[in-house]
Structure 1
Amino acid sequence: MKKKILIFIALLFFALGLTGCSSNQKSVAQQANTADTWSHIKKRGRVIIGLDDTFVPMGFRQKDGKLVGFDIDLAKAVFKQYGIKADFQPIDWNMKETELRNQTIDLIWNGYTITPAREKQLAFSRPYMANRQVLVTKTSEKINSFKGMQNKTLGVQTSSSGASLLDEHPTMLKNYIKNKTPVLYDSFNNALMDLDDNRIQGLLIDSVYAGYYISKEKDPDSYNTTRGGFSGEDFAVGMRKGDKTLKKKIDTGLQHLSNTGELQKISQKWFGNSDNILIKPNNK
């Protein structure tokens, strides 16, 4: 009898523990949807931005370890207006929404695409840049369409918008590739190296990254870019739904940078043009 009582007590504590964990998870999610953290960020004097630090040219490490990129410059310029320092925290891109919900970061700002699925979980700033998924191949492969990837190996970054589109519209590209399954990569850098070494014959990648990477190669003509049928996408800043003041500050800051021409200058620096910028000056 004593043994049965001890077992019952142990099971009771276990059940209470599960209830506590469930309540805690619910509390974290609820707080993320309701808490406005702007006053805390302002008092702290810095905002913590989560990113994949291999995403050239949005945010990446130079050989000396310095973090640079279009989004790095843009985020710094936005928060400079409010006297707040932008701190950048490299994160596991697969866990980006969890990191945001758990408040280990304040923002996701790294060529982050607006999608309906993501809008259910978090809030977005106004879109500031247009992008699309393109197929990059070696010119020697003579692949000029998605159909040209028939029985060939495709690479894609894990949890990227490209990976999502591949699954959402399998008849466009996925059904053509070898085993109807892509090779998944943690970073585009590794995927591009495999493309060069012919371990994969195609790479589904952001056009902003593809254009920047190819322009820096010794022989840009050795690469071919195919647009295919995937629709365009917009980059924006991801944040918790409760951070309405933070959203307003970012949106206002982005518009100000466009009005002064600084947003266009940052784009010129990284892309050689400002054609992909969605926020137009409203002072003309």
Structure 2
Amino acid sequence: MKKKLALLTIMIFVLGLLVSGCGQAKQTEDNSLKDIKQKGKFVVGLDDSFPPMGFKNDKGEIVGFDIDMAKEAAQRMGVKVEFKPVQWDGIILSLNNKDIDVIWNGLTITDKRKEQIDFSKVYLQNKQIIVVKNDSSIKTKKDLAGKVVGLQLGSSSETALAADTNTSKSLKETKKYSDNTEALMDLSQGRLDAVVVDEVVGRYYISKKPGLYKTLDEDFGKEDYGVGIRKTDKSFKEELDKTLDAMKADGTADKISQKWFGKNIITK
């Protein structure tokens, strides 16, 4: 009888530890939103030379489509938002090291990135376009054979081009830049034959310099944009998703899109 009681006591103790452990895990998981509320802000990591998503204007202020979206979301969540420029090729490490709270800067949702971080719901669909000078004879991907193509290091443009092996292997050289501004500058100066870039960026630059650039009809595929979030921050992700849904539903996201792109490109 004593052995049975002892065994029962041990089982209850072990069960108690398991329940306690699960409870602690759940509590830790749910603390992300509470921590943000207590801190009174969330920190957005971004490449601040990525117009129109996030960039510095003539006054040195960080502005852009994603900036306006993040500000609106923060206000609705009852907190402030801080923008922290980070080197793009190390931005996921910055997120997981808690140097920043989210990546909100035209971040493409990929399987590889999903292994490292979580994402909000899709809020915008983009594609990788090919930009050339207006007087270029390049009309198709096949015409890129033997040419020098530029793109941003660590960007989805790099991934998209590499995935198209027929095109990437035909190139003379692929030059990688720290930002798209530098790549497009080299294109305008004739140091590149083409640039592979996010459509949102390419369209923005083309509109700023009419007659200088044009885009090819072919592209390197579509992609979805989401806000990058740590895998542990479940409660914060849930609240942000609700906020983004509300911004879409009441037309606020549409207005922000019209401001920066001239049309509504928000994903429903």
TM-score bracket relative to the smaller structure: 0.7 to 0.9
1:95 and 1:63 map into 2 onto residues whose CA distance is 27
Q: Secondary structure at the match of 2:186?
A: helix
Deviates more, 1:134-143 or 1:265-274: 134-143
How do residues 63-82 of structure 1 correspond to structure 2 at under 5 angstroms? 63-82=58-77
Q: What is the identity, as a one-letter code, of the residue corresponding to 2:267? A: L
Structure 2 gaps of 5+ residues are 1-24
Corresponding residue number in structure 2 for 1:228? 218
Corresponding residue number in structure 1 for 2:46? 51
How do residues 101-250 of structure 1 correspond to structure 2 at under 5 angstroms? 101-171=96-166, 173-178=167-172, 181-217=173-209, 220-250=210-240
Post-superposition Cα deviations, 1:183-225, rounded to whole Å, max 9, x if no partner, equal 00001111111000000010000000111110111xx233220
CA contact (8 A) 1:49 1:88 kept: yes
Corresponding residue number in structure 1 for 2:35? 40
Runs of 4+ in 1 over 4 A off after TM superposition: 33-36
Q: Secondary structure at the match of 2:190?
A: coil
CA contact (8 A) 2:130 2:219 kept: no
1:35 and 1:200 map into 2 onto residues whose CA distance is 49
Quick one: percent identity of the two aligned structures? 39
CA contact (8 A) 1:36 1:242 kept: no
Match status 1:91 vs 2:86? yes
Q: Secondary structure at the match of 2:37?
A: helix
2:150 and 2:186 map into 1 onto residues whose CA distance is 9
Q: What is the identity, as a one-letter code, of the residue corresponding to 1:230? A: F
TM-score by length of 1: 0.82
1:269 and 1:212 map into 2 onto residues whose CA distance is 12
1:227 and 1:177 map into 2 onto residues whose CA distance is 19
Structure 1 gaps of 5+ residues are 1-29, 280-284
1:175 and 1:226 map into 2 onto residues whose CA distance is 19
Return the offset for 1:246. 1.1
Q: Secondary structure at the match of 2:122?
A: coil
TM-score by length of 2: 0.87
